[in-house]
Structure 1
Amino acid sequence: MKSASVESTHQQPDINTDENNKAINTITKPVVYQVFTRLYGNTNTSNKPWGTIADNGVGKFSDFTDVALQDIKSLGTTHVWYTGIPHHALINDYTAYGISNDDPDVVKGRAGSPYAVKDYYNVNPDLADNPTNRLAEFEALIARTHANGMQVIIDIVPNHVARNYHSISAPKGESDFGANDDKTQVYSRHNNFYYVVGEDFQVPDASKGYQPLGGETHPLKDGQFHESPAKWTGNGSRLAKPDINDWYETVKINYGVKPDGNHDFPALPNVYANKTAAEHLAFWQAQAADDIPDSWRKFEHIAQYWLTKGVDGFRYDMAEMVPVEFWSYLNSHIKHTNPDAFILAEVYNPDLYRNYIHLGKMDYLYDKVDLYDTLKAIMQGKASTATIATEQAKVSDIDQHMLHFLENHDEQRINTADFAGNSRNALPAMVISTTLSRSPTLLYFGQDVGEPGAENAGFGQPTRTSIFDYVGVPAHQRWMNNGKFDGGQSTADEKALRSYYQTLLNLSHTASALSGNYMELDSFQRQKQVVGYDDNVFAFSRFNTDQQLIIVSNFSQSQSKQFTLKLPKTLKQTWHLMGNAKLTDLLKNVQLSQELILNQDSSASVDIKLAPLQSVILEVMNKG
């Protein structure tokens, strides 16, 4: 099933830097490969709950060899999102390297949450072969990724930092978050944190059956953590003793939003929704220095620091919890330094999408609440495929900004009973997710080989690969095959699945119509009451002046579908169809025996036959 356009994972790496970078800069429909960095190269298969590095192993920067990176690139990848790079709180002793120990009472898991950053000016020491040289090792990985023709994205977590944030690596003149705060005030514009004045922090009461480190003894595990006065917790809790379900391991950053919700910074006029990043930058440069909250400047300095290291873009965690004006400030500064920087934000409130794109100058937002949730419901038999067209119409004006995915580190693995039951049940959804719009596609590592995330790692819950503990990722490890990345230990089903993903995702670059126009064909079939077209089928078209595609998917796990797909006359006219046209299925790279028929009434139609879970991406070989 592999297309001729997909390069073999057995070829020697092609790392012609100039050609690769030129190719990246011309990409209009990116593919983002998200890798949880500490898990990716780990070959240890012990998977002991709450296991240490010695028990369960950990992946390193050095595991991303040229062979590994070319394997990632073979999936059509243009950008690698290395998750868990900034130094976050974790339970391991690095005091020999000048790093303070972290308290298990305010760390989730043993390996720690990547979203409780402890030092923004260095990287996770777990990931380095030599922790003393950890930053240099990451810089070398950035260079290797570039040499292999891909760009680098890392996380910035703007809403909160680790409870024990302390940078030992900040450049001269950069003070720590909170170092200059007036702790006698609940709020002050230039304070980095909010304070529960007069009260000390208290560790939350554990939920039933939970103990830090699974009950293991530890010198710092005593139900205590000194913080006086207490700070507001990352999710906004104002209690000195937050609930165990709060983000108690983090503290909330103050962006000049007063406790009553009023803003203590210059308002960005709505007309800036139509202005460039350069114009946004000029607006902020014109403001009085004292009107810009200190936290804004700190994060702008952090972003610039990583840009100078060669990072090409950022993924922002929980961006909607931070005011949109800050994003205008930060992103306009980033775009001034690197106009091509890739900026992705986690935003779940559709009412905020356009503000964060137009006023906040985000390139891309998660398309979870609309497309992801819809596709998941269809796979689970809870919704009709007709809802796809409805949801896509909601974002038609911003479709190129809505990043599509079926897995990421926060979501359940596809290959679980709680999601799709098995990996192949999601293939129709993956085809639609990849081809529906001009937006980027995100692929989470292990998704392409059907990783089920079934391990009980400790703090993390099965159905999601743990982001809190040291663990192996079995299906990915089989593909990795001890660094050969050739699927030498993979099952036949895993190899077939990966080949399908390779073919599909590479079409993002080779099928130019996927960067062109969209027309849904679903409602037309329902209006015409096409026999055999039902709530398990979805059809749409993608096209530009060079290429016309018809894409049809069957979500049914057990039933084949056969019907005559009808094209609206407007589409026939747009495509300048002059007669019957031959069809090539790009997923199989074969020319079909059936043709697109131009009927006597000037309508057009094509006979479709789909096996259970089959999709077709039909290229119309139009002579008109």
Structure 2
Amino acid sequence: MINKRIIVAGMAVTMLFSACKTKDLKMTTKEEVPTDKKIVVYQVFTRLFGNKNTTNKPWGTIEENGVGKFNDFTDKALHEIKDLGVTYIWYTGVPHHALVRDYTAYGISNDDPEVVKGRAGSPYAVKDYYNVNPDLAVNPVNRLQEFEALIARTHKAGLKLIIDIVPNHIARKYEGKSNPEGVKDFGADDDVNVEYKRDNNFYYIPKEHFEIPNGDIPLNGEKNPMVDGFFDENPAKWTGNGSRKVQPDQNDWYETVKVNYGIRPDGSKDFPELPAGFDRKSYQEHFAFWQDKDVPDSWKKFKSIALYWTAKGVDGFRYDMAEMVPYEFWSYMNSAIKMKNPNAFLLAEVYNPNEYRNYIRLGKMDYLYDKVETYDKLKDVIRGKSNPDGLSDIQKGMSDIEHHMLHFLDNHDEQRLASPEFAGTPERGKPLMVVSTTISTSPTMVYFGQEVGEAGNENAGFGTHSRTSIFDYIGVPNHQRWMNEGKFDGGKLSESEKSLRDFYKRLLNFSIKSSALMGNFQEIQSVNRQNNLGYDDLIYSYVRWSENQKLIVVVNFSSDKTSEFDLKIPSDIISKWNLKDGEYSLKDQLYLKNEIKLIVNNGEGKAKVKIAPSESFIYEVK
């Protein structure tokens, strides 16, 4: 989706449901999400990953620009991804979504370009939840079997996988042609003569025809028999982002319709609510609560979808715009998933910090995007809008839920880390990546191509510069050089790109093996910022430790200044680490070349550090 967060914030999403606040509660997060090592998620845009075509014509067709397939994820490709230090793959864009291509020979209806974004279509306008995108199959007839084979290959490689579920909205022309027996289509039993009814799947604008938005030019003006200024939707439905207009704006999510979860048009709830204290209950207790409850029909439909994919071996889900759906529904569905697979990985796109704890504790989410806190702060730092001191306050403010806040610097919605609009160069992104990976116990996510410096410079057509388009058939140049015509050996990478990938490989592999990174955190920024000659504004430092490992992390966000200073390790940390007065070796674990001395005197520690521009050290105390 385009401008998701702006739209959500602007609406304040009237339909979003005020939740009881649970900020003052503390919890042991690892009891809720058991793990003894870091999780690293590798997000791939499935349609683009294996594409070898380098034409990159704006608005190009599959024949002109090419497309990747499930089969491109070979055993070799998956081995190389795992070897990078990855534990999960997020295959983005797998469910069958609306697109502009003729698949009528396979029993699939054509989609109207006037309600499709781009030519390849948005992966978040799902057309059939029980099947997969035909573009991704060598043989569209066997597309589901080809994805099932990819599930098996992924597991064979020692990786787990997640796919998207988009409960808030579906394609304007949803057609469940692959529904299991007994499953009715969305809207099949709706009363279309009323705006709202609890068990309707959609919201309606009775007696009004849908009108396509003004301003958007489908297919960049290319002639198409379905581009006629009309899309047959009568009565009109509410648009996916909540717009109640018969004619949505071109910046609305006009290619989708909003799903009704039993939230009345005035924002009140038309379903059972969780009793007080359920923020402390297990998923088993949540599951038991819902067994005798009458819930809206849309809840049942999406639970069936999630359990269908769980039964096929999918290890979890990334939920698009989860905060636009009530957390009671998430309690209902997530607890059912966990009953089938207690280790399911459930990740939600949520941008409202005031709701984080509700979606974790009441919605039973494992992980949420740490976007508006850690990501935005790091972006401000590298763009010269802030110093890094506030990172410490962010960690303190989320100390009770830090494990649940997934960290990323790149994904399909955001500007590429290496783009001029973000870090500017891959090198300048390195200190951000070190902090993002090591500052908390949370999972780390990398977007394919990030590890070789992809900057998203292409003019794809509908997709915008600085982001790798999710709407177009396009190639990803840096990634394609690593892919090397399907050899997946980095054979066409430049030396700097090889070096960058090696940096990511060392960092990620260290992170998934480090016990300290699953242990304690304490900032040492504040003590080092006080009267410390040479400790510049763009230096940031903190410590991480477990029973068996003690780490000191120092990064330099400056792009042009080398800093030299005495790094201070305060007495409370020296005491917690049980270090006696004396000399200790600090060996960098990132490059394995730099070794300095920590001198402990009168219970306080100091180490002489020299750090180059965009450099980072992860010192282990020996």
What's the CA shift for 1:591? 5.8
Query: Any conservation in 2 of the 1:345–1:365 contact (CA below 8 Å)?
Result: yes
TM-score in terms of structure 1 length: 0.93
Aligned to 1:536: 538
Aligned to 1:21: none
What's the CA shift for 1:27? 5.3
Query: Any conservation in 1 of the 2:37–2:515 contact (CA below 8 Å)?
Result: no
| Secondary structure class of the residue paired with 2:415 | coil
Return the letter of the residue paired with 2:280.
Answer: N
> 1: distance between equivalents of 2:56 and 2:77?
23
Q: Please identify runs of 4+ aligned residues in structure 1 that moved more than 2 A.
A: 24-28
Aligned to 1:589: 592
1:249-303 deviation line (CA, Å, top 9, x unaligned): 000000000000000000112300000000000111132xxx3000000000000
Query: Any conservation in 1 of the 2:168–2:240 contact (CA below 8 Å)?
Result: yes
What's the CA shift for 1:415? 1.7
1:502-528 deviation line (CA, Å, top 9, x unaligned): 0001112221100000000101112x3
Aligned to 1:564: 566
Cα distance, 1:26–1:384 mapped onto 2, change above 3 Å:
closer
> 2: distance between equivalents of 1:25 and 1:264?
34
Query: Any conservation in 2 of the 1:331–1:362 contact (CA below 8 Å)?
Result: yes
Match of 1:89 among 95, 98, 113: 98
Q: Which runs of 5+ in 2 are unaligned?
A: 1-32
Aligned to 2:125: 116
Tell me whether 1:267 sits opposite 2:273 in the alignment: yes
The alignment's C-alpha RMSD in Å is 1.1
> 1: distance between equivalents of 2:74 and 2:513?
26
What's the CA shift for 1:590? 3.3
Aligned to 2:523: 520
1:202-240 deviation line (CA, Å, top 9, x unaligned): 10112xxx4111111111111110001000000000011
Match of 1:484 among 484, 487, 501: 487
What's the CA shift for 1:28? 2.7
Query: Any conservation in 2 of the 1:367–1:405 contact (CA below 8 Å)?
Result: yes
Aligned to 2:476: 473
Aligned to 1:236: 242
Cα distance, 1:26–1:276 mapped onto 2, change above 3 Å:
closer
> 1: distance between equivalents of 2:382 and 2:282?
40
Aligned to 2:553: 551
Query: Any conservation in 1 of the 2:36–2:518 contact (CA below 8 Å)?
Result: no
> 2: distance between equivalents of 1:384 and 1:590?
28
Aligned to 1:602: 603
Aligned to 1:12: none
Aligned to 2:115: 106
> 2: distance between equivalents of 1:234 and 1:44?
33
| Secondary structure class of the residue paired with 1:552 | strand
Tell me whether 1:245 sits opposite 2:251 in the alignment: yes
Aligned to 2:577: 575
> 1: distance between equivalents of 2:493 and 2:558?
27
Tell me whether 1:150 sits opposite 2:159 in the alignment: yes
1:333-378 deviation line (CA, Å, top 9, x unaligned): 0000000000000000000000000000000000000000000000
Q: Which runs of 5+ in 1 are unaligned?
A: 1-23
Match of 2:380 among 373, 377, 382: 377
Query: Any conservation in 2 of the 1:582–1:591 contact (CA below 8 Å)?
Result: no
Query: Any conservation in 1 of the 2:118–2:461 contact (CA below 8 Å)?
Result: yes
1:357-403 deviation line (CA, Å, top 9, x unaligned): 00000000000000000000000010011111122222111000000
1:128-139 correspondence to structure 2 within 5 Å: 128-139=137-148
Return the letter of the residue paired with 1:338.
Answer: N
Query: Any conservation in 2 of the 1:156–1:316 contact (CA below 8 Å)?
Result: yes
What's the CA shift for 1:583? 1.4
Aligned to 2:508: 505
Tell me whether 1:281 sits opposite 2:287 in the alignment: yes
What's the CA shift for 1:25? 9.3
1:49-95 deviation line (CA, Å, top 9, x unaligned): 11100000000000000100011111111000000000000011110
Aligned to 1:44: 53
What's the CA shift for 1:312? 0.2
Match of 1:394 among 389, 393, 397: 397
Return the letter of the residue paired with 2:614.
Answer: L
Tell me whether 1:67 sits opposite 2:76 in the alignment: yes
1:172-321 correspondence to structure 2 within 5 Å: 172-206=181-215, 210-287=216-293, 291-321=294-324
TM-score in terms of structure 2 length: 0.94
What's the CA shift for 1:26? 6.1
Query: Any conservation in 2 of the 1:451–1:476 contact (CA below 8 Å)?
Result: yes
| Secondary structure class of the residue paired with 2:346 | strand
| Secondary structure class of the residue paired with 1:580 | strand
> 2: distance between equivalents of 1:425 and 1:223?
47
| Secondary structure class of the residue paired with 1:490 | coil
1:438-467 deviation line (CA, Å, top 9, x unaligned): 000000000000111111111100100000
> 2: distance between equivalents of 1:27 and 1:284?
31
> 2: distance between equivalents of 1:523 and 1:222?
63
> 1: distance between equivalents of 2:228 and 2:599?
75
